[in-house]
Structure 1
Amino acid sequence: MRLFRIFLILFVFLGIRLSAESIKLCSFNIQIFGVSKMAKPEVVSILIDIISRSDVIAVQEVRSRGIAPVVQFMHLLPPKYAYVLGPREGRSGSKEQYWVIYDATKLQLLGETTWADPEDIFERNPLGVYFQTQDKFDFILIDNHIQPSNAAQEISAMPGVVKYFQELWDERDVVIVGDFNADGVYYDEDLLTAVFPEQEYQIIITNDYDTTLAASDNTYDRIIITTSAVEDYTGACGVIRFDEVYDFSALTIQPRHVSDHYPVWAEFNIGVDTD
């Protein structure tokens, strides 16, 4: 009888764990996305495959002057995907857009807007997107691409951006993603915990991850969440090393044609949110 009770407890526990649904969130600096990249079928095929494996994908470095490459790419994805495209941002002629792709069968878009940046700190003002899953999990996604030459100032200003979106939508759960350029010659990665202290944030993609194709080992791309969202985080995360996933020896392209950054990802439960 005692053995049966132990087995029953374990079965119930494992059943709950196995039945918990989750979403996979990905961030990807695609590197100069536009007409030229869409003209390379092998590159597009790999990008479609990568993005189709996630439920929410925050993209940086959309450089096209027109919307046509984005629309063309979306038509190649399964029809369940919808998207948000931010305004063209940047002080120079080389402007970029943030692009958030999401599975509309799993997530509802509640709001989206760009940080106004009244003090003109950011080269590319972060984009905030407010989502709710069909279950309990609602959260704010902040997509950003930090200017390398101004990394320290822009990263230090990010908690203010978080607070702005939290107050705007009255939501505590925030997932900050993007190319932070938070390493190498641009930024001392050890300073990141001072900007995002553990009492308020959890840095999911930590300094020990390599997120670029370069020979150097740098963690430019990050996923950081507010402590209120920790209960929703499954603990699963990583870097998609597409140069190892796909057989480039059989292709006419090199990994660098896909991007100079690897996508980073994290997984979140959708049925345990309590706020």
Structure 2
Amino acid sequence: MKIAAFNVKNLGMKKVNNDNILKNLIKIVSRYSLVVMQEVQDPTGNAMKKFLTELNKYGKNKYHPFEMLSSEPIGRNSRKEQFVFFYRHDEINVTDYYQYEEENEDVLAREPFIVMFDCPNTVVKNLVLIPVHIDPDDAENELEALDDVVEDARETLKTDNIMILGDFNADGRYLNDETREALSISSAPYYWLIDEDADTTTGANDHTYDRIVVYGDEMYDAVVANSAKPFNFQKAYKLKKKLAQSISDHYPVEVELEED
């Protein structure tokens, strides 16, 4: 079962109404059984409803359709974002979800929308996804706070099968190697799956901003070896750089779970 996280840069009706962008987004999402998008800006929900309708008209999606689950708009300022999940409901079911809220401090600019899935065809059977879009200006503190988020999810949802995924902004000028390696989530029982040299951006830099991190040995053992990587859609679909960058400034990061 293939899972992905994709920061789609200001995803709203303007992009959904652009035929070239829409066509390629549909091709990208259709590679997966489960995708979580970040940086969605669709407070009415109309853009994502339209995207879902068009997505389910494409190829095998007609027979293996996606369903959608969205958070409320999240963020401190007027530029709020949503986390939006698309999942094939003949493979996966949502069993629980909640909006994480910090108890004492306001560290996370966009608190994760945590979702638990029933995955009967994989070795883990249930899976919790914690999507993140880390504020680049406070990356160290926000990433350190994710250990508390995981502990809350473990206690609330009664499982250790947890995956954190999304735009960590964990590279370049936002986070150096030494700082990253000192984070609570940088050592066991956490495992970082995306190679440190992987380029997850469509721009001129080669930074590894987007990450997938799993919690615990059982979750790590459920991952297909060497399956965690960015999907370079510009290269795969032979797109011009301008079109690729109009789709997003990020590539999706993906991983595959072992089937039962």
Q: CA RMSD in A?
A: 1.5
Name the SS of the counterpart of 1:254 in structure 2.
Answer: helix
Name the SS of the counterpart of 1:269 in structure 2.
Answer: coil
Distance in 2 (CA, whole Å) between partners of 1:39 and 1:189 is 40
Aligned match of 2:219:
229
Q: In the alignment, does 2:2 pair up with 1:54?
A: no
1:206 maps to which of 185, 188, 195: 195
Distance in 1 (CA, whole Å) between partners of 2:71 and 2:85 is 8
Aligned match of 1:100:
85
Max Rg structure? 1
Q: In the alignment, does 2:23 pair up with 1:45?
A: yes
Maintained 8 Å contact 1:58/1:101: yes
Report matched runs for 1:100-179 at 5 Å. Answer: 100-118=85-103, 119-135=105-121, 136=123, 137-179=125-167
Aligned match of 2:43:
65
One-letter identity of the residue aligned with 1:139: L
Name the SS of the counterpart of 2:90 in structure 1.
Answer: coil
Post-superposition offset of 1:173: 1.0
Aligned match of 1:17:
none
Distance in 1 (CA, whole Å) between partners of 2:160 and 2:9 is 31
Aligned match of 2:251:
262
Post-superposition offset of 1:133: 1.1
For residues 29-49 of structure 1, what are the alpha-carbon distances to aligned partners after superposition, in whole Å with 9 as ceiling and x for unaligned? 011000110121010000000
Distance in 2 (CA, whole Å) between partners of 1:117 and 1:270 is 35
One-letter identity of the residue aligned with 2:220: V
For residues 8-50 of structure 1, what are the alpha-carbon distances to aligned partners after superposition, in whole Å with 9 as ceiling and x for unaligned? xxxxxxxxxxxxxxx0010100110001101210100000000
Maintained 8 Å contact 2:140/2:180: no
For residues 83-136 of structure 1, what are the alpha-carbon distances to aligned partners after superposition, in whole Å with 9 as ceiling and x for unaligned? 110010111111100011111111111111111112211111111110111245
Name the SS of the counterpart of 2:172 in structure 1.
Answer: coil
One-letter identity of the residue aligned with 2:35: I
Distance in 1 (CA, whole Å) between partners of 2:179 and 2:194 is 15
Distance in 2 (CA, whole Å) between partners of 1:189 and 1:89 is 29
One-letter identity of the residue aligned with 2:71: G
Aligned match of 2:58:
none
Name the SS of the counterpart of 1:233 in structure 2.
Answer: coil
Post-superposition offset of 1:214: 1.7
Identity %: 28
Post-superposition offset of 1:188: 1.5
For residues 54-83 of structure 1, what are the alpha-carbon distances to aligned partners after superposition, in whole Å with 9 as ceiling and x for unaligned? 011011000123100000000012252111
One-letter identity of the residue aligned with 1:158: L
One-letter identity of the residue aligned with 2:108: F
Maintained 8 Å contact 1:133/1:270: no
TM-score normalised according to structure 2 size: 0.91
Report matched runs for 1:20-31 at 5 Å. Answer: 23-31=1-9
Post-superposition offset of 1:189: 3.6
TM-score normalised according to structure 1 size: 0.86
1:240 maps to which of 211, 222, 231: 231
Q: In the alignment, does 2:185 pair up with 1:194?
A: no
Maintained 8 Å contact 1:128/1:140: yes
Aligned match of 1:11:
none
Distance in 2 (CA, whole Å) between partners of 1:190 and 1:218 is 16
Maintained 8 Å contact 2:36/2:86: yes
Maintained 8 Å contact 2:202/2:245: yes
Distance in 1 (CA, whole Å) between partners of 2:188 and 2:7 is 29
Name segments (4+ residues, structure 1) moved above 6 Å: none
Maintained 8 Å contact 2:195/2:229: no
